[in-house]
Structure 1
Amino acid sequence: MYINNPCIKLPNDTNTVVWKYLDLSKFLDLLLSHKLFMSRSDKFEDQYEGTFSEPTFEEIKKLAIDNPDFLNHYKTHREKVAVSSWHINEYESFAMWQIFTQNSEGLAIQSTIGRLQRSLRPETDFEQYIGEVNYIDYKKELIPFDDSFFPFLFKRKSFQYEREVRVITDIGESDLQINEGLKISVDINELIEKIYIHPKSENWYKNLVIQLVKQLGFKFTIEKSDLESDILI
Protein backbone atom coordinates (compact mmCIF):
# COMPACT_ATOMS: atom_id res chain seq x y z
CA MET A 1 0.00 0.00 0.00
CA TYR A 2 1.14 3.54 -0.55
CA ILE A 3 2.36 5.86 2.22
CA ASN A 4 0.47 9.11 2.73
CA ASN A 5 3.00 11.92 2.92
CA PRO A 6 1.55 15.40 3.61
CA CYS A 7 4.40 17.00 1.67
CA ILE A 8 3.26 15.33 -1.59
CA LYS A 9 0.60 17.14 -3.58
CA LEU A 10 -2.44 15.30 -4.95
CA PRO A 11 -5.85 16.45 -6.20
CA ASN A 12 -8.26 16.78 -3.28
CA ASP A 13 -10.96 14.84 -5.09
CA THR A 14 -10.12 11.13 -5.01
CA ASN A 15 -12.56 10.65 -7.92
CA THR A 16 -10.20 12.62 -10.19
CA VAL A 17 -9.88 10.53 -13.38
CA VAL A 18 -6.46 9.21 -14.40
CA TRP A 19 -5.38 7.25 -17.47
CA LYS A 20 -2.63 4.90 -18.53
CA TYR A 21 -2.06 4.31 -22.26
CA LEU A 22 -0.28 1.08 -23.19
CA ASP A 23 -0.06 -1.72 -25.73
CA LEU A 24 -1.83 -5.07 -25.53
CA SER A 25 1.22 -7.07 -24.41
CA LYS A 26 1.80 -4.82 -21.39
CA PHE A 27 -1.90 -4.87 -20.57
CA LEU A 28 -2.01 -8.68 -20.64
CA ASP A 29 1.12 -8.85 -18.52
CA LEU A 30 -0.65 -6.67 -15.93
CA LEU A 31 -3.72 -8.94 -15.91
CA LEU A 32 -1.76 -12.20 -15.81
CA SER A 33 0.73 -11.17 -13.14
CA HIS A 34 -1.48 -8.86 -11.07
CA LYS A 35 1.57 -6.64 -10.99
CA LEU A 36 2.10 -3.13 -12.33
CA PHE A 37 5.40 -2.53 -14.13
CA MET A 38 7.39 0.51 -13.00
CA SER A 39 10.32 1.91 -14.97
CA ARG A 40 13.65 2.73 -13.35
CA SER A 41 13.80 6.50 -13.14
CA ASP A 42 17.06 6.94 -15.02
CA LYS A 43 15.79 4.86 -17.95
CA PHE A 44 13.23 7.44 -19.08
CA GLU A 45 13.77 9.30 -22.34
CA ASP A 46 13.95 12.60 -20.47
CA GLN A 47 17.56 12.88 -19.28
CA TYR A 48 16.51 15.33 -16.57
CA GLU A 49 14.36 12.69 -14.88
CA GLY A 50 15.14 12.60 -11.15
CA THR A 51 17.70 15.40 -11.40
CA PHE A 52 17.64 18.88 -9.90
CA SER A 53 17.03 22.35 -11.22
CA GLU A 54 20.03 24.68 -11.55
CA PRO A 55 19.32 26.70 -8.36
CA THR A 56 18.91 23.49 -6.34
CA PHE A 57 22.08 21.96 -7.77
CA GLU A 58 24.07 25.04 -6.75
CA GLU A 59 22.77 24.69 -3.19
CA ILE A 60 23.63 20.99 -3.10
CA LYS A 61 27.16 21.64 -4.38
CA LYS A 62 27.74 24.03 -1.46
CA LEU A 63 26.65 21.38 1.02
CA ALA A 64 28.78 18.76 -0.73
CA ILE A 65 32.04 20.69 -0.33
CA ASP A 66 32.57 19.19 3.12
CA ASN A 67 30.47 16.08 2.48
CA PRO A 68 30.97 14.70 -1.06
CA ASP A 69 28.81 11.66 -0.28
CA PHE A 70 25.84 14.01 -0.06
CA LEU A 71 25.98 14.70 -3.81
CA ASN A 72 26.86 11.12 -4.70
CA HIS A 73 23.75 9.91 -2.89
CA TYR A 74 21.48 11.93 -5.16
CA LYS A 75 23.32 10.77 -8.28
CA THR A 76 23.04 7.07 -7.46
CA HIS A 77 19.56 7.26 -5.96
CA ARG A 78 18.00 7.43 -9.45
CA GLU A 79 18.95 3.76 -9.87
CA LYS A 80 16.91 2.89 -6.78
CA VAL A 81 13.65 4.60 -7.75
CA ALA A 82 10.97 3.23 -10.09
CA VAL A 83 8.00 5.15 -11.47
CA SER A 84 4.58 4.37 -12.94
CA SER A 85 3.10 7.36 -14.77
CA TRP A 86 -0.61 8.20 -15.06
CA HIS A 87 -2.30 11.07 -16.92
CA ILE A 88 -4.88 13.31 -15.21
CA ASN A 89 -7.76 14.11 -17.53
CA GLU A 90 -11.54 13.93 -17.33
CA TYR A 91 -11.55 12.80 -20.97
CA GLU A 92 -9.40 10.77 -23.32
CA SER A 93 -6.37 12.54 -24.74
CA PHE A 94 -5.64 12.35 -28.45
CA ALA A 95 -2.04 13.37 -27.73
CA MET A 96 -1.57 10.52 -25.22
CA TRP A 97 -2.86 7.99 -27.75
CA GLN A 98 -0.29 9.30 -30.23
CA ILE A 99 2.63 9.31 -27.79
CA PHE A 100 2.17 6.11 -25.82
CA THR A 101 0.63 3.67 -28.32
CA GLN A 102 2.75 2.76 -31.32
CA ASN A 103 -0.03 1.44 -33.54
CA SER A 104 -3.80 1.09 -33.68
CA GLU A 105 -3.73 -1.86 -31.27
CA GLY A 106 -3.19 0.11 -28.09
CA LEU A 107 -5.63 0.63 -25.24
CA ALA A 108 -6.14 2.88 -22.24
CA ILE A 109 -6.89 2.08 -18.62
CA GLN A 110 -9.27 4.52 -16.96
CA SER A 111 -8.99 4.77 -13.20
CA THR A 112 -9.16 7.39 -10.44
CA ILE A 113 -6.76 8.72 -7.81
CA GLY A 114 -8.70 6.83 -5.14
CA ARG A 115 -8.66 3.56 -7.06
CA LEU A 116 -4.93 3.93 -7.67
CA GLN A 117 -4.31 4.46 -3.96
CA ARG A 118 -6.48 1.53 -2.88
CA SER A 119 -5.12 -0.86 -5.51
CA LEU A 120 -1.55 -0.93 -4.18
CA ARG A 121 -0.80 -4.03 -2.12
CA PRO A 122 1.50 -3.97 0.94
CA GLU A 123 5.19 -4.49 0.14
CA THR A 124 7.78 -5.43 2.75
CA ASP A 125 10.97 -4.34 0.99
CA PHE A 126 10.22 -0.79 -0.10
CA GLU A 127 8.07 2.29 0.32
CA GLN A 128 5.57 3.66 -2.20
CA TYR A 129 4.20 7.13 -2.74
CA ILE A 130 1.64 8.68 -5.08
CA GLY A 131 2.13 12.30 -6.06
CA GLU A 132 1.24 14.87 -8.70
CA VAL A 133 4.14 16.17 -10.78
CA ASN A 134 5.07 19.86 -10.52
CA TYR A 135 6.20 21.56 -13.73
CA ILE A 136 8.80 24.27 -13.18
CA ASP A 137 11.50 26.36 -14.86
CA TYR A 138 14.68 24.37 -14.22
CA LYS A 139 16.84 27.44 -14.76
CA LYS A 140 15.07 29.58 -12.16
CA GLU A 141 13.03 27.56 -9.66
CA LEU A 142 14.17 25.59 -6.64
CA ILE A 143 13.34 21.90 -6.08
CA PRO A 144 13.22 20.92 -2.39
CA PHE A 145 15.94 18.47 -1.39
CA ASP A 146 15.05 17.76 2.22
CA ASP A 147 13.56 14.45 1.05
CA SER A 148 15.23 12.24 -1.54
CA PHE A 149 12.02 11.44 -3.48
CA PHE A 150 11.25 15.11 -4.26
CA PRO A 151 13.31 15.24 -7.52
CA PHE A 152 10.97 12.62 -8.98
CA LEU A 153 7.93 14.87 -8.53
CA PHE A 154 9.29 17.72 -10.65
CA LYS A 155 9.67 18.07 -14.43
CA ARG A 156 10.39 20.85 -16.88
CA LYS A 157 7.53 23.10 -18.00
CA SER A 158 7.78 21.72 -21.54
CA PHE A 159 6.17 18.50 -20.22
CA GLN A 160 3.10 20.18 -18.73
CA TYR A 161 0.84 18.53 -21.31
CA GLU A 162 1.46 15.20 -19.52
CA ARG A 163 -0.48 16.32 -16.39
CA GLU A 164 1.19 13.44 -14.60
CA VAL A 165 0.46 11.60 -11.39
CA ARG A 166 3.10 9.10 -10.35
CA VAL A 167 3.36 6.01 -8.27
CA ILE A 168 6.91 6.14 -6.91
CA THR A 169 8.67 3.12 -5.44
CA ASP A 170 11.88 3.71 -3.50
CA ILE A 171 14.04 0.64 -2.81
CA GLY A 172 16.94 2.69 -1.44
CA GLU A 173 16.77 1.07 1.99
CA SER A 174 16.61 -2.50 0.66
CA ASP A 175 19.07 -4.88 -0.97
CA LEU A 176 16.96 -5.14 -4.13
CA GLN A 177 18.40 -4.24 -7.52
CA ILE A 178 16.43 -2.72 -10.41
CA ASN A 179 17.45 -3.38 -14.00
CA GLU A 180 14.90 -1.89 -16.40
CA GLY A 181 12.27 -1.66 -13.69
CA LEU A 182 10.29 -3.67 -11.17
CA LYS A 183 6.75 -4.92 -10.69
CA ILE A 184 4.52 -4.11 -7.74
CA SER A 185 1.45 -6.04 -6.61
CA VAL A 186 -1.92 -4.44 -7.36
CA ASP A 187 -5.59 -5.31 -7.02
CA ILE A 188 -6.63 -5.34 -10.69
CA ASN A 189 -10.36 -4.96 -10.05
CA GLU A 190 -9.71 -1.95 -7.84
CA LEU A 191 -7.19 -0.40 -10.23
CA ILE A 192 -9.21 -0.63 -13.46
CA GLU A 193 -12.55 1.11 -13.78
CA LYS A 194 -12.90 0.89 -17.56
CA ILE A 195 -10.87 0.01 -20.66
CA TYR A 196 -10.91 2.04 -23.88
CA ILE A 197 -9.75 0.52 -27.17
CA HIS A 198 -7.61 2.57 -29.58
CA PRO A 199 -9.78 4.90 -31.73
CA LYS A 200 -8.26 3.58 -34.97
CA SER A 201 -8.59 -0.10 -34.11
CA GLU A 202 -10.77 -2.56 -36.01
CA ASN A 203 -13.80 -4.27 -34.46
CA TRP A 204 -12.01 -7.63 -34.41
CA TYR A 205 -9.40 -6.13 -32.10
CA LYS A 206 -12.02 -4.88 -29.64
CA ASN A 207 -13.68 -8.31 -29.68
CA LEU A 208 -10.29 -9.96 -29.07
CA VAL A 209 -9.62 -7.80 -26.02
CA ILE A 210 -13.12 -8.48 -24.66
CA GLN A 211 -12.63 -12.23 -25.10
CA LEU A 212 -9.19 -12.26 -23.48
CA VAL A 213 -10.37 -10.22 -20.49
CA LYS A 214 -13.39 -12.51 -20.06
CA GLN A 215 -11.25 -15.66 -20.21
CA LEU A 216 -9.01 -14.23 -17.49
CA GLY A 217 -12.02 -13.75 -15.24
CA PHE A 218 -12.33 -9.97 -15.22
CA LYS A 219 -15.59 -8.09 -15.73
CA PHE A 220 -14.67 -4.43 -16.17
CA THR A 221 -16.31 -2.43 -18.96
CA ILE A 222 -14.54 -2.29 -22.33
CA GLU A 223 -15.43 0.37 -24.88
CA LYS A 224 -14.06 1.57 -28.20
CA SER A 225 -12.73 5.10 -28.05
CA ASP A 226 -15.17 7.57 -29.63
CA LEU A 227 -12.44 9.94 -30.84
CA GLU A 228 -12.91 8.47 -34.32
CA SER A 229 -16.72 8.17 -34.27
CA ASP A 230 -18.82 8.97 -37.32
CA ILE A 231 -19.14 12.64 -38.23
CA LEU A 232 -22.71 13.92 -38.04
CA ILE A 233 -23.68 16.44 -40.68
Structure 2
Amino acid sequence: MYTENKNLKLPGNPDTIIWKYLDLSKFLDLLLSKKMFMSRSDKFEDQYEGTFSEPTYEEIKQIAVNNPEFLNYYKQRRKNIVISSWHINEYESFAMWQIFTKNNEGLAIQSTVGRLKEAFHAEDRITQYIGEVDYIDYKKEYIPFDDDFFPFLFKRKSFQYEKEIRVISDVTPLNLSVNEGIKIQTDIQKLIEKIYIHPKSENWYKKLVIELMDKLEFNFSVEKSDLESDILI
Protein backbone atom coordinates (compact mmCIF):
# COMPACT_ATOMS: atom_id res chain seq x y z
CA MET A 1 0.00 0.00 0.00
CA TYR A 2 1.38 3.39 -0.97
CA THR A 3 1.39 5.97 1.81
CA GLU A 4 2.47 9.57 1.51
CA ASN A 5 5.46 10.71 3.55
CA LYS A 6 5.62 14.51 3.57
CA ASN A 7 9.34 14.41 4.36
CA LEU A 8 10.05 12.78 0.99
CA LYS A 9 10.37 14.96 -2.10
CA LEU A 10 8.15 14.11 -5.09
CA PRO A 11 7.36 15.77 -8.44
CA GLY A 12 4.20 17.85 -8.05
CA ASN A 13 2.70 16.61 -11.32
CA PRO A 14 1.36 13.01 -11.10
CA ASP A 15 1.78 12.75 -14.90
CA THR A 16 5.55 13.07 -14.57
CA ILE A 17 6.97 10.32 -16.81
CA ILE A 18 9.18 7.65 -15.27
CA TRP A 19 11.03 4.68 -16.77
CA LYS A 20 12.43 1.32 -15.75
CA TYR A 21 15.00 -0.27 -18.08
CA LEU A 22 15.34 -4.04 -17.75
CA ASP A 23 16.03 -7.28 -19.58
CA LEU A 24 13.37 -9.64 -20.92
CA SER A 25 13.68 -12.18 -18.09
CA LYS A 26 12.98 -9.54 -15.42
CA PHE A 27 10.09 -8.17 -17.46
CA LEU A 28 8.56 -11.64 -17.79
CA ASP A 29 8.99 -12.24 -14.08
CA LEU A 30 7.05 -9.02 -13.44
CA LEU A 31 4.21 -10.12 -15.74
CA LEU A 32 4.06 -13.72 -14.53
CA SER A 33 4.25 -13.00 -10.81
CA LYS A 34 2.38 -9.67 -10.93
CA LYS A 35 4.85 -8.60 -8.30
CA MET A 36 7.49 -5.88 -8.42
CA PHE A 37 10.96 -6.78 -7.16
CA MET A 38 12.49 -4.49 -4.53
CA SER A 39 16.19 -4.93 -3.86
CA ARG A 40 17.79 -4.88 -0.42
CA SER A 41 19.50 -1.50 -0.14
CA ASP A 42 22.96 -2.84 0.67
CA LYS A 43 22.91 -5.08 -2.42
CA PHE A 44 23.17 -2.20 -4.89
CA GLU A 45 26.42 -1.73 -6.77
CA ASP A 46 27.02 1.63 -5.10
CA GLN A 47 28.64 0.84 -1.74
CA TYR A 48 27.48 4.20 -0.36
CA GLU A 49 23.80 3.20 -0.48
CA GLY A 50 22.14 3.98 2.84
CA THR A 51 25.28 5.55 4.32
CA PHE A 52 25.87 9.14 5.40
CA SER A 53 27.92 12.01 4.08
CA GLU A 54 31.03 12.94 6.06
CA PRO A 55 29.53 15.96 7.92
CA THR A 56 26.51 13.90 9.00
CA TYR A 57 28.63 10.93 10.04
CA GLU A 58 30.76 13.13 12.29
CA GLU A 59 27.61 14.28 14.08
CA ILE A 60 26.30 10.74 14.42
CA LYS A 61 29.60 9.58 15.94
CA GLN A 62 29.25 12.24 18.60
CA ILE A 63 25.74 11.03 19.42
CA ALA A 64 26.94 7.42 19.47
CA VAL A 65 29.56 8.14 22.15
CA ASN A 66 26.88 7.89 24.82
CA ASN A 67 24.54 5.72 22.81
CA PRO A 68 26.50 3.07 20.83
CA GLU A 69 23.31 1.37 19.65
CA PHE A 70 22.45 4.50 17.68
CA LEU A 71 25.08 3.75 15.00
CA ASN A 72 24.34 0.01 15.00
CA TYR A 73 20.70 0.82 14.33
CA TYR A 74 21.58 2.53 11.04
CA LYS A 75 23.96 -0.25 10.00
CA GLN A 76 21.29 -2.90 10.53
CA ARG A 77 18.70 -0.79 8.79
CA ARG A 78 20.47 -1.15 5.43
CA LYS A 79 19.47 -4.84 5.48
CA ASN A 80 15.81 -4.04 6.14
CA ILE A 81 15.23 -1.29 3.57
CA VAL A 82 14.15 -2.45 0.10
CA ILE A 83 14.09 -0.26 -2.99
CA SER A 84 12.76 -0.21 -6.55
CA SER A 85 14.52 2.39 -8.71
CA TRP A 86 12.92 4.37 -11.55
CA HIS A 87 14.26 7.05 -13.89
CA ILE A 88 12.53 10.45 -14.28
CA ASN A 89 12.66 11.70 -17.86
CA GLU A 90 10.22 13.05 -20.41
CA TYR A 91 12.10 11.11 -23.08
CA GLU A 92 14.08 7.90 -23.44
CA SER A 93 17.63 7.95 -22.13
CA PHE A 94 20.48 6.59 -24.25
CA ALA A 95 22.60 6.27 -21.08
CA MET A 96 19.95 4.15 -19.33
CA TRP A 97 19.73 1.78 -22.31
CA GLN A 98 23.51 1.37 -22.19
CA ILE A 99 23.73 0.78 -18.45
CA PHE A 100 20.72 -1.40 -17.68
CA THR A 101 20.28 -3.55 -20.78
CA LYS A 102 22.61 -5.94 -22.61
CA ASN A 103 22.89 -7.68 -25.98
CA ASN A 104 20.47 -5.24 -27.66
CA GLU A 105 17.55 -7.17 -26.22
CA GLY A 106 16.32 -5.07 -23.31
CA LEU A 107 13.14 -3.08 -22.98
CA ALA A 108 11.84 -0.11 -21.03
CA ILE A 109 8.62 0.31 -19.09
CA GLN A 110 7.13 3.78 -19.36
CA SER A 111 4.90 4.83 -16.48
CA THR A 112 4.08 7.94 -14.45
CA VAL A 113 4.41 8.93 -10.81
CA GLY A 114 0.62 8.77 -10.49
CA ARG A 115 0.44 5.27 -11.96
CA LEU A 116 3.20 4.09 -9.66
CA LYS A 117 1.28 5.31 -6.60
CA GLU A 118 -1.90 3.54 -7.73
CA ALA A 119 -0.23 0.23 -8.61
CA PHE A 120 0.30 -1.08 -5.08
CA HIS A 121 -2.23 -3.28 -3.30
CA ALA A 122 -3.92 -1.95 -0.17
CA GLU A 123 -3.71 -5.34 1.54
CA ASP A 124 0.09 -5.61 1.25
CA ARG A 125 1.81 -6.36 4.54
CA ILE A 126 4.33 -3.56 4.17
CA THR A 127 3.89 0.09 3.26
CA GLN A 128 5.47 1.58 0.14
CA TYR A 129 6.72 5.16 0.08
CA ILE A 130 7.99 7.09 -2.94
CA GLY A 131 10.72 9.70 -2.92
CA GLU A 132 12.98 11.52 -5.35
CA VAL A 133 16.73 11.16 -4.87
CA ASP A 134 18.92 14.20 -4.07
CA TYR A 135 22.49 14.27 -5.39
CA ILE A 136 25.05 15.91 -3.12
CA ASP A 137 28.76 16.26 -2.36
CA TYR A 138 29.35 13.60 0.31
CA LYS A 139 32.48 15.36 1.55
CA LYS A 140 30.82 18.73 2.16
CA GLU A 141 27.02 18.46 2.32
CA TYR A 142 24.83 17.34 5.18
CA ILE A 143 22.25 14.51 5.06
CA PRO A 144 19.47 15.01 7.64
CA PHE A 145 18.76 11.98 9.80
CA ASP A 146 15.49 13.10 11.33
CA ASP A 147 13.66 10.81 8.86
CA ASP A 148 14.81 7.19 8.76
CA PHE A 149 14.54 7.04 4.96
CA PHE A 150 16.81 10.03 4.28
CA PRO A 151 20.09 8.07 4.02
CA PHE A 152 18.50 6.06 1.18
CA LEU A 153 17.32 9.12 -0.75
CA PHE A 154 20.67 10.84 -1.15
CA LYS A 155 23.43 9.83 -3.55
CA ARG A 156 26.73 11.23 -4.72
CA LYS A 157 26.73 13.85 -7.47
CA SER A 158 28.45 11.42 -9.85
CA PHE A 159 25.09 9.61 -10.12
CA GLN A 160 23.07 12.66 -11.17
CA TYR A 161 22.48 11.20 -14.63
CA GLU A 162 20.19 8.59 -13.03
CA LYS A 163 17.49 11.20 -12.16
CA GLU A 164 16.18 8.59 -9.78
CA ILE A 165 12.87 8.22 -8.02
CA ARG A 166 12.51 5.34 -5.59
CA VAL A 167 9.83 3.11 -4.18
CA ILE A 168 11.12 2.43 -0.68
CA SER A 169 9.88 0.16 2.12
CA ASP A 170 11.00 -0.99 5.54
CA VAL A 171 10.52 -4.72 6.06
CA THR A 172 11.47 -4.63 9.77
CA PRO A 173 7.83 -5.15 10.93
CA LEU A 174 7.69 -8.42 8.96
CA ASN A 175 10.47 -9.89 11.09
CA LEU A 176 11.93 -11.79 8.17
CA SER A 177 15.40 -12.32 6.76
CA VAL A 178 15.75 -10.61 3.37
CA ASN A 179 18.35 -12.10 1.04
CA GLU A 180 18.52 -10.20 -2.26
CA GLY A 181 15.15 -8.47 -1.91
CA ILE A 182 11.41 -9.06 -1.85
CA LYS A 183 8.50 -8.99 -4.30
CA ILE A 184 5.38 -6.94 -3.63
CA GLN A 185 1.91 -7.31 -5.13
CA THR A 186 1.49 -4.89 -8.04
CA ASP A 187 -1.35 -4.00 -10.38
CA ILE A 188 0.54 -4.39 -13.66
CA GLN A 189 -2.21 -2.80 -15.75
CA LYS A 190 -2.06 0.36 -13.68
CA LEU A 191 1.71 0.39 -13.50
CA ILE A 192 2.59 0.08 -17.19
CA GLU A 193 1.57 2.71 -19.70
CA LYS A 194 3.74 1.66 -22.62
CA ILE A 195 6.62 -0.67 -23.52
CA TYR A 196 9.64 0.40 -25.56
CA ILE A 197 11.91 -2.13 -27.26
CA HIS A 198 15.69 -1.70 -27.29
CA PRO A 199 16.78 0.67 -30.11
CA LYS A 200 19.22 -1.86 -31.56
CA SER A 201 16.97 -4.91 -31.33
CA GLU A 202 15.83 -6.91 -34.37
CA ASN A 203 12.21 -7.06 -35.55
CA TRP A 204 11.87 -10.64 -34.29
CA TYR A 205 12.51 -9.41 -30.76
CA LYS A 206 9.60 -6.97 -30.84
CA LYS A 207 7.35 -9.73 -32.23
CA LEU A 208 8.49 -12.06 -29.44
CA VAL A 209 7.63 -9.51 -26.75
CA ILE A 210 4.18 -8.95 -28.27
CA GLU A 211 3.52 -12.70 -28.54
CA LEU A 212 4.53 -13.27 -24.94
CA MET A 213 2.24 -10.50 -23.73
CA ASP A 214 -0.63 -11.90 -25.80
CA LYS A 215 -0.20 -15.33 -24.21
CA LEU A 216 -0.25 -13.72 -20.78
CA GLU A 217 -3.31 -11.66 -21.77
CA PHE A 218 -1.68 -8.25 -21.52
CA ASN A 219 -2.26 -5.70 -24.26
CA PHE A 220 0.21 -2.91 -23.59
CA SER A 221 1.27 -0.68 -26.46
CA VAL A 222 4.69 -1.82 -27.67
CA GLU A 223 6.94 0.51 -29.64
CA LYS A 224 10.47 0.37 -30.99
CA SER A 225 12.75 2.94 -29.40
CA ASP A 226 12.90 6.31 -31.18
CA LEU A 227 16.67 6.44 -30.79
CA GLU A 228 17.30 4.35 -33.93
CA SER A 229 14.67 5.88 -36.24
CA ASP A 230 15.44 6.54 -39.92
CA ILE A 231 17.77 9.44 -40.66
CA LEU A 232 16.18 12.09 -42.84
CA ILE A 233 18.56 14.05 -45.10
Is this a same-fold pair by TM over 0.5?
A: yes
Of 216-225 and 120-129, more deviation after overlay is shown by: 120-129
Of 173-182 and 53-62, more deviation after overlay is shown by: 173-182
Q: What TM-score, normalized to structure 1?
A: 0.98
2:124–2:185 Cα contact (<8 Å) kept: no
RMSD: 0.9
2:35–2:185 Cα contact (<8 Å) kept: yes
Shift of residue 32 of structure 1?
A: 0.3
Q: Secondary structure at the match of 1:169?
A: strand
Q: Secondary structure at the match of 1:82?
A: strand
- Report the counterpart of residue 180 of structure 2 in structure 1: 180
Q: Summarize the alignment of residues 58-77 of structure 1 with structure 2, pairs less than 5 Å apart.
A: 58-77=58-77
Large movers: runs of 4+ above 6 Å: none
Q: Distance in 2 between matches of 1:5 and 1:65?
A: 31
Q: Distance in 2 between matches of 1:14 and 1:149?
A: 22
Shift of residue 92 of structure 1?
A: 0.3
Q: Secondary structure at the match of 2:174?
A: coil
2:136–2:155 Cα contact (<8 Å) kept: yes
Q: Distance in 2 between matches of 1:125 and 1:147?
A: 21
- Report the counterpart of residue 129 of structure 1 in structure 2: 129
Q: Secondary structure at the match of 1:78?
A: helix
- Report the counterpart of residue 189 of structure 1 in structure 2: 189
Q: Summarize the alignment of residues 86-101 of structure 1 with structure 2, pairs less than 5 Å apart.
A: 86-101=86-101
- Report the counterpart of residue 81 of structure 2 in structure 1: 81
Shift of residue 124 of structure 1?
A: 4.7
Q: Secondary structure at the match of 2:227?
A: coil
- Report the counterpart of residue 210 of structure 2 in structure 1: 210
Count the aligned residue pairs: 233
Q: Distance in 1 between matches of 2:202 and 2:185?
A: 32
Shift of residue 123 of structure 1?
A: 4.8
Q: Distance in 1 between matches of 2:69 and 2:143?
A: 19
1:55 aligned onto 2:60 = no
Q: What TM-score, normalized to structure 2?
A: 0.98
- Report the counterpart of residue 154 of structure 1 in structure 2: 154
Of 122-131 and 170-179, more deviation after overlay is shown by: 122-131
Deviations 1:126-149 (A, max 9, x none): 222100000011111111111211
2:87–2:165 Cα contact (<8 Å) kept: yes
Q: Identity over the aligned pairs, expressed in percent?
A: 71
Q: Distance in 2 between matches of 1:90 and 1:71?
A: 40
Shift of the 16–182 alpha-carbon distance from structure 1 to 2, 3 Å rule, reads same
Q: Distance in 2 between matches of 1:15 and 1:124?
A: 25
- Report the counterpart of residue 45 of structure 2 in structure 1: 45
- Report the counterpart of residue 27 of structure 2 in structure 1: 27
Q: Distance in 1 between matches of 2:203 and 2:174?
A: 46
Q: Structure 1: which 5+ residue stretches go unaligned?
A: none
